[in-house]
Each structure stands twice: as structure tokens, then as C-alpha cells.
Amino acid sequence: MSKSGTILYLDGVSVSFDGFRAINNLSLVLDKGEMRAIIGPNGAGKTTMMDIVTGKTRPDTGEVFFDGQTDLTRHDEAEIAMMGIGRKFQKPTVFENHSVEDNILLSLKGPRSIFPALFHKHSAEEKRRIDEIFSVIRLGDKRHDLAANLSHGQKQWLEIGMLLAQDPKLLLVDEPVAGMTDAETEETARLLKDIAKTHSVIVVEHDMHFVRELGVKVTCLHEGSVLSEGTLDFVSSDERVVEVYLGR
Amino acid sequence: MISGKFFAAGADRRIAITIAILVAVAIVVPILNLALPPDSALHVPSYMVALTGKYLCYALLALSLDLVWGYCGILSLGHGAFFALGGYAMGMYLMRQIGDRGVYGNPLLPDFMVFLNYKELPWFWHGFDQFWFAALMVMLVPGLLAFVFGWFAFRSRVTGVYLSIITQAMTYALLLAFFRNDMGLGGNNGLTDFKDIFGFSVQANTTRSALFAASALALALGVFVTWRIVGSKYGKLLMAVRDAESRTRFLGWRAENVKLFAFTLSAVMAGIAGALYVPQVGIINPGEFDPANSIEVVVWTAVGGRATIVGPIVGALLVNAGKSWFTGALPELWLFALGGLFVAVTLFLPKGIVGTWDQWRARSRHRAAPDEADGDAGSEEEVVVRVEPRPAAQLKPPHGGLAPQPAE
């Protein structure tokens, strides 16, 4: 497989924790601009895969390349985030004691060292960027509220907004619709499809209706490696997927 | 420009009032002590000046702890070490000021060195005859220790209770080290018998008043600096690291550097507090490194209210005033009272005095005008946003304020 033209390239990646193989010879390639849905039963290694890509976990073996050229295994979380990989956690993680706007402000692309932050002044450009993000995530009327006071679904959107503020090339989105109402789920699918027009995205999700809504290529993981890959219809009719994940 | 912003629109009236009070106290108390005759009703006795001057140093120490504990969640149980190091740096200057007036009359060597048969001044005592050098060391030594300690601890991602334990171990190790006579810092007895500071007798009322004023002004400056830092984007980041460290990492921030800056700055503040403390009490000995001292600082801060700036000052003043009274009236009960106080505050006032007061105020204001809190986004938004970039979130919490932080 060639790395050129890929935004994310994993080849032969394995990692074990105390003898348990969380990821087992995993190979996965994401093209630039592609959106991919990843499904799989609990413990299939979905979150561990994200940990590896974002530098939280170092793989025992295997290659992980970003943008066709950068070896991600040599970098840590902050460096990888600065290269342009944004990550939304499974449990929405926002700064609860800050206003919604400050959450976005802290995420905005820009210098990440101490002294610029200490002497930071608000600029018109920043305000424009923040307004832009609020128009995408539709939380404009909540911008002065504490993030702690948002509903679960709104926190998910805020976290997605924080990713957008980073202006990443690749977004890793872990279970964006967990705990959402049907209406919110639909809204989130629309939001992600919008984002996918200009970014590469990986979405991990259990909700099959939501995955269908996205209408993208699906990868099913099982026991740390790829079980099946293709359109949702292809994957969901795959005998092995039915066996381990969807159930008969 | 800063002062314009400072007094604008009550950006934070409480901070302004605190600073104003401290500056006023720095001017008025020395006048009441020195200019009024002792029989006047308004005369402030000298022992009160010395006592409150000492409390103000404790308050600055508590404020420095608040910066790392309240705002960044780093529960340091070794802040007394930075305070003591600043105190030792000042003590070394005061020792060199004694000159040949010591018991042994050696012009170069302090008494304890003559007693211990030192032939020459240890290398690290050079330069301490100059005040500017000592003042530099007061900040540099605690700052450097905090920087090196923090660099290793934060880089290795030591957090929570483990970090608290190693800070405790640090101050304990220093306690043992400073007890040794070959450390060259007076061993068990520490540094004492000070005569002069800047050529003025440390015993004189005027000097004591001046030291009191310096402590009040240093505290005012500490409040101002902490307030500016906490209100900046860096301050928001500091709290973000406290609340969701991994989130900040995945946004590209280096959480370890964020903590390191606050920890180092906090140690410098603690060092300055120690340096002002030593001439007022007339002694610095290894007892200041006692882990129990550092824990007491935590109690003051918790009692006053974490992450409130004013809280730790209130806590330090109240608890120490209580301690002075108690140790006079019922000396054997003081430690029980202190322990009981900490338990009671943790159970009944988890936000401390100031935090609870804020909560109560916010609740009653909310009840009086339930819509007011949301009204901010209206026509005056532009002004509000510019004048007070800090959100409603931190210091005027109409939405419920800070969630309680785990004590770790």
C-alpha cells in the first residue's frame, strides 16, 4: 500500500496491555477528505486505536503515518494535536467551569505557549472565528453560559466545536451520539456530514441508524483487527460481522 | 491603562477593595504606631504590628498556594519549603549584617561558624552581604527548586495524591538536610541574633513598622499579580488543566508547562513571604521546613476558600488570629481545634468562607432577579465583553459558580 494521498495510514499495528492484545496487526487507511465510520463490539479496540493515533498509547509494533509522511509514533499528544488531529472523547469532555465561549477560545488555533497566553488580547479575527464556529454548532445563544450547564447533547456539540476551532485536518470522533435524542442524532449526522466536506473524519459509533445516516464506508473492528470493510450494506450482510456484532 | 481597566465597571470590586485596604493598612498602621502616644486610644501597640506583619506573610504564603491548588489543582504539601528557603536567603543577609558585633567578634564569620571551627566562609555565603544579591536569591532559590522539581514531576505526569506526597517528601528531606551542622546554615539553631537590616536595627519600632508596611504591600502586589494571571487566557488554561487535563493536551497545550509556570511563580511568591517573615520574627531555623507547617497552610487556604484570591488571605488571618488567642488561653487544645476546624470546613464549607459567601450571594441574587443573569447578552454585550473578558463563569457566578473540586 502506498502512503501518498492518505491522511492516516496504519499498517501492522499491535499493542498489548498486560498480555492482552488490544490491537492485533491492525491495518487501516484513510484517504484525504474521506469520512469513515468504525463499528465493532465493546473491546474491539476502537478507542485504543484512537489512543494510538493521538499519541496517548505507543504501539508495540507497526507503522502509523499521518498525511503520508509524519510518523505519529514519534510524537506526543500535544504535538499530534498541533499537526492537525482533533479528538472527541467518548464521554464529552469540556471545561465545565468555563463559559461556552471560553471553551472555544482555549481551543482556537494559535500559539500554544505560556507567555502569549499570559498577554493574550482578544482580536477581531478571533471573534469572527468564534462566531463562525457558533454558527456551525448552533450554540450561539448559550455562549455566556457555563459549559457545566449544557445538556449532554449540547456538550457533545461543544466538544465538536472545540475540535473545529483547532482547525484540524483529521477529526477522530468517538461515539458522538451516545445519549442523544433522535432529533439530536439527526442533527449531529448533518453536522458531521457538513464537517466532512472540508475535513477527513473518523467516527466511532454503535448507533447503526446514525451510521446509515452518514452514508460512508464502514470498517468493522473485532479483537483488535479489521473484520470487514465496505459499504454499510456489505458489512452488515457479512456473516462474520453478524456473528460477532450485530447478532442474528 | 491597567488601572483604568482595574477600576472599570466593578471588574472585580472585591480585589480592588482588598488591594486598597492593604495599601491603606500599610500607610495607616505605622502612623498609628509611631506618631501617636502609647496612651492614645488609637495607638497600635508594637507587638500588634509585629504580630499582624507576620500574619500578612502567612497570607501571602496561602495566596501562593491558592494559585497552584485552587486554580490548578496541584495540592502542594511542601509550600512551607519555598517559604523557608526565601527566609534562609534573607537570614543569610541578616547574618552578614551582624559583622563583628557577634559574641565571638569575628568580622567575617557568623557566630555559629566560629563555634563549629569554620576557617573560612562557605562558598554559598558569598554575596549575601549585598542586599540586592540576597533579594535575588530570595526569589531564585525557591523558584529554581520549584522549576526543577516541577519539571520532573509534571513531565512524568505525577498528579493527585502522589504529587502531594512527593512535595511533602521534598520539604521533609530539606528539613533533615538543614538540621545538619555541616550544611553551613546554623544546623538545629538556624540563623538568629539579627542586628540590622539596611543599617536600621531590626528591633526598632520604625523598622518593624516598615517591615509591616512592606509585607502589606507585597501582599497587595501578590493579589494584583494573581488576579491578573487568573483573569488572563493563561489563567483560563490553568483552570482548564485543573478540570480536564487530557482535554488540554489533545487541544495541543502542554499541560506540564502550564503547571510548571504556575508552580514556579507560586514558589517565588512563597519565597518572598518567607523573606519578609524572617526579620519580623528574628529567627529562621529548620523547623520551618516541618511538613506540619505546610499542611497548616493548606488548612488556611481551605478555610478561606480555594480559587477565590481573597479567601486564602481571610483564612490565613483568621486561623492565625485564632491560633494566637488559643495558644494563649487554652494552649493544649490548639491542635485539636485546628484539626477540628479542618474537618468541619471540609464537611460543611467545602468552598471555604469566601466561596460559601459567594454561593449564598449568587443564590439570593438569582432569586431576586432570575432573568438578570441571562440579560448580559443584550445590547451592552460589546462593552461587557471588552471590559471584562473574564466570563461570568469565574468570579461572579450567577449560574451556580465553581463546582466543588475534589480535595484530591
Distance (Å, rounded) from C-alpha B238 to C-alpha B405?
14
Q: Give the model's pLDDT for residue B37.
A: 87
Query: Does B11 fall in a domain?
Result: no
* E strand or H helix at A203: strand A200-204
Q: For residue B311, is pLDDT > 80?
A: yes
Q: What is the mean pLDDT of residues A13-21?
A: 91
Nearest to B239 among A56, A97, A143 (CB): A97
Chain A partners within 8 Å of B388 (Cβ): none
The count of domains in chain B is 1
Nearest to A112 among B253, B377, B394 (CB): B253
Kind of pairing between the strands at B283-284 and A20-31: unpaired
Domain encompassing residue B215: 17-387
SS3 A119: coil
pTM: 0.88
Chain A partners within 8 Å of B389 (Cβ): 122
pLDDT digits (tens, 9 = 90+) for A135-163: 988 888 999 999 999 998 899 999 999 99
CA B341 to chain centre: 20
Q: Give the model's pLDDT for residue B267.
A: 98
Beta bridge partners of A37: A203, A218
Query: Does B392 fall in a domain?
Result: no
Q: Give the model's pLDDT for residue B62.
A: 97
Q: Give the model's pLDDT for residue A73.
A: 93
Q: Say if CB B185 and CB B94 are below 8 A apart.
A: no
Distance (Å, rounded) from C-alpha A222 to C-alpha A25?
11
Contact A97 B385 (CB under 8 A): no
Top CATH class of A6-95+168-246 equals: alpha beta
Nearest to B251 among A102, A106, A113 (CB): A106
Q: Give the model's pLDDT for residue A4.
A: 84
Name which residue leads in pLDDT, B278 or B1: B278
Nearest to A95 among B247, B258, B392 (CB): B247
Residue B15 main-chain phi, psi, to 5 deg: -65, -45
Q: Say if CB A52 and CB A23 are below 8 A apart.
A: yes
**Domain boundaries along the sequence of chain A:** 6-95+168-246
pLDDT digits (tens, 9 = 90+) for B86-138: 999 999 999 999 988 888 888 889 999 999 999 999 999 999 999 999 999 99
Q: How confident is the model at residue A1 (pLDDT cuts 50, 70, 90)?
A: low
Prediction ipTM score: 0.91
Distance (Å, rounded) from C-alpha B155 to C-alpha B142?
19
B-side interface with A, Cβ within 8 Å?
A: 229, 232-234, 236-237, 239-240, 243-244, 246-255, 257-258, 261, 376-377, 385-386, 389, 391-394, 399-400, 402-403
A60 touches chain B (CB under 8 A): no
Q: What is the mean pLDDT of residues A99-114?
A: 92
CA B185 to chain centre: 24
Distance (Å, rounded) from C-alpha B245 to C-alpha B251?
10
Query: Does B395 fall in a domain?
Result: no
Q: For residue A180, is pLDDT > 70?
A: yes
A77 touches chain B (CB under 8 A): yes
Q: Say if CB B288 and CB B186 are below 8 A apart.
A: no
User: Side chain identity at A29, as an amino acid letter?
Assistant: V
Average pLDDT, chain B: 87
Q: How confident is the model at residue B398 (pLDDT cuts 50, 70, 90)?
A: very low
**Distance, in angstroms, between B2 CA and closest chain A CA?**
12
Instruction: Spell B46-55 as b/e; 16+ CB within 10 A means b.
Output: beebbbbbbb
Report H helices in B73-204.
79-98, 111-115, 131-155, 160-179
Nearest to B257 among A77, A107, A114 (CB): A114
Exposed / middle / buried, residue A86 (Cβ in 10 Å: 0-12, 13-18, 19+): buried
Contact B393 A146 (CB under 8 A): yes
Q: Say if CB A136 and CB A158 are below 8 A apart.
A: no
pLDDT digits (tens, 9 = 90+) for B224-254: 999 999 999 999 999 999 999 999 999 999 9
Contact B257 A89 (CB under 8 A): no
Q: What is the mean pLDDT of residues A97-107?
A: 94
Query: Does B3 fall in a domain?
Result: no
Chain B partners within 8 Å of A81 (Cβ): 249-252
pLDDT digits (tens, 9 = 90+) for A183-223: 889 999 999 999 999 999 999 998 888 999 999 999 999 99
Q: Give the model's pLDDT for residue B369.
A: 66
Q: For residue B404, is pLDDT > 70?
A: no
DSSP label at B116?
Answer: T
Kind of pairing between the strands at B191-192 and A35-39: unpaired
Query: Does B404 fall in a domain?
Result: no
In chain A, residues 197-236 whose CB comes closer than 8 Å to chain B = none
Q: For residue B49, is pLDDT > 60?
A: yes
Q: Locate B3 and state its grid cell.
A: 488601572
Contact B247 A148 (CB under 8 A): no
Q: How confident is the model at residue A248 (pLDDT cuts 50, 70, 90)?
A: low
Q: Give the model's pLDDT for residue B334.
A: 87
Give the number of A-B residue pairs with CB atoms closer than 8 Å.
Answer: 105
Q: For residue B26, is pLDDT > 50?
A: yes
Q: Locate B276 and state its grid cell.
A: 519578609
**Distance, in angstroms, between B362 CA and closest chain A CA?**
14
Distance (Å, rounded) from C-alpha A53 to C-alpha A72?
7
Q: Give the model's pLDDT for residue B268.
A: 98
Q: What is the mean pLDDT of residues B332-358?
A: 88
Residue A20 main-chain phi, psi, to 5 deg: -90, 125
Chain A partners within 8 Å of B249 (Cβ): 77-78, 81
Q: Give the model's pLDDT for residue B370.
A: 56
- Who's near B46: CB < 8 A, 6+ residues apart? B33, B205, B208
SS3 A197: coil
